[in-house]
Amino acid sequence: MRRVAVVGVGCTKVGELWDKSLKDLVVESATKALDDAGIDNIDVVYVGNALAQILQNQSNLGSLVADCLGFEGIPAISVEAADASGSLAFHEAYKAVKFGWADKVLVVGVEKMSDSSSEEVSKALMTFEDQDYVAFTGITQAGIHALLLKFYMEKFGVKHEDIAMFAVEAHKKASKNPYAQFRNLIKLEDIFRSPVVADPLRLLEHTTLADGSASLILCPLEEAKKLKLQPIEVLASSTATDRFFLHERADMLTFNSTVKAAEKAFKEAKISRDQIDVVETHDSSTILGVISLEDLGFVEKGKGANFVVEGNITIDGRLPTNTMGGLKGRGHPLGATGVYQLVEVVWQLRGEAGENQVKNVKVGLTHTVGGVGSFASVNILGCLG
């Protein structure tokens, strides 16, 4: 087995990009990654996407992306795992390089949501959950998050205001990220003045429609050392599942997919949690951000909100988290989100995160969930310097 490195990254701005098609987004991010790596050819491409078959009536994205980029005759694989589609595409690409199936691999995450109505997207998002016993009730993803929020507050005696601080911190970091969807600062009072999307969850606590694409290049570590940029090693990449039905889990406030993926990742990387310098975790709502920190093992169960309130996830805090704004601030273009997280960790490790740069970063972790925790991916990257 070979050691694997990231040698090129690139992304588009996240937002409601009505003047750009899904193909435009792919070409922009992939070209940036190829230029960053200083290469012009690849062996295989993996494409992560969640909703193109529904929102664009477009499937066979692997071949489409290869053609858009002018790569003829190469293998091209489409990957889908709800919100974690981009992360799973990276995981499969990592294995391809690690086991010697390919030498230069392009990973592309892409999503185009803004051309559809909110109602269309809400319905499409519920394809991530069971259709016979959950989606048919009419509940939305935001509705499920709202139930988790209410249950969490009641079980642990936590104030809503403390959980909502996750969004305040997200916008603070996003305000300094030129690629972020929401660069406006918000306060707690802004959150509680915003409309209720599903009681008690507020509009400013949840992600919204977003378009974007992020890409990266993987190759064997030995080859990476020959390229112009400092390579970033992939120390671990793991995935896991939980019970598909949220209501059948032993504890609805613990996503075992995250717990198990994290355990495998730390074992593979041969490091401990206190060696992690930055974390990019899944905060598609404030409550999922809090739960994610707990399930990854950084915070005791029920203490996640207090951990945030105490300032631990700030850029200069004990555990800098979602350093470029996370899903809430940077934006959540579904199938591209996991790749954005990886790009952002690479920036941190290279010292290229601008105003959001964390000092002395050596190791970073990314975490994405599919649906409401039925699938999770955890990746750990390290700087070879």
Distance separating alpha carbons of residues 364 and 362, to the nearest angstrom: 7
- Given this model, what pLDDT does residue 201 score? 98
Amino acid making up residue 14: V
Model pLDDT, residue 341: 98
Whole-angstrom distance, CA of residue 40 vs CA of residue 157 = 55
Look at residue 372 in the predicted model and tell me its pLDDT: 96
Cis peptide leading into 75, omega within 30 of 0? Answer: no
Label residue 228 by pLDDT band (50, 70, 90): low
Task: Quick: pLDDT tens for 148-165.
Answer: 999 999 999 999 999 999
Among 47, 41, 66, residue whose Cα is nearest residue 339: 47
Mean pLDDT of the chain: 96
Tens of pLDDT along 13-26?
A: 999 999 999 999 99
Look at residue 382 and tell me whether its pLDDT is greater than 90. yes
Cα(87)–Cα(108) distance, integer angstroms = 10
Mean pLDDT score, 217-240: 89
pLDDT > 70 fraction of the chain, expressed in percent and rounded:
99
Mean pLDDT of 224-234: 82
pLDDT at 223 (0 to 100)? 86
What does the block give as tokens for 70?
């002018």
Q: pLDDT band for position 4 (50/70/90)?
A: very high
Confidence of residue 230 (pLDDT cuts 50, 70, 90): confident
Confidence category of residue 383, pLDDT binned at 50, 70, 90: confident
Selection from 199, 189, 109 nearest residue 149 by Cα: 199
Residue in the block written with tokens 């717990």: 259
Question: How far are the Cα atoms of 266, 321, 355, 373 from residue 298, in angstroms, in the given order?
Answer: 12, 11, 25, 18
CA dihedral 311, 315, 319, 322 (to 10 degrees): 100
Contact predicate 381/363, CB 8 Å: yes
Sequence letter at residue 155: K
Domains and CATH numbers, the chain: 4-116+209-232 (3.40.47.10), 118-207+235-383 (3.40.47.10)
* pLDDT in the model for residue 384: 58
- The per-residue pLDDT for range 106-138, each reduced to its tens digit, is 999 999 999 999 999 999 999 999 999 999 999
CA separation for the pair 292, 96 (Å, rounded): 28
Burial of residue 312 (CB within 10 Å: 0-12, 13-18, 19+) is middle
Confidence of residue 385 (pLDDT cuts 50, 70, 90): low
- Contacts of residue 223, defined as CB under 8 A and 6 or more positions apart, other chains included, come to 103, 104
Instruction: Say what the pTM is.
Output: 0.97
Min mean pLDDT across 215-229, 256-270, 346-360 is at: 215-229
Whole-number Å distance between alpha carbons of 340 and 331: 10
How much is the average pLDDT of 265-274?
Answer: 97
How many helices, marked H, and strands, marked E, lie in the chain?
14, 11
Residue 199: pLDDT above 70?
yes
Residue 351's nearest CA partner among 326, 329, 383 is 383
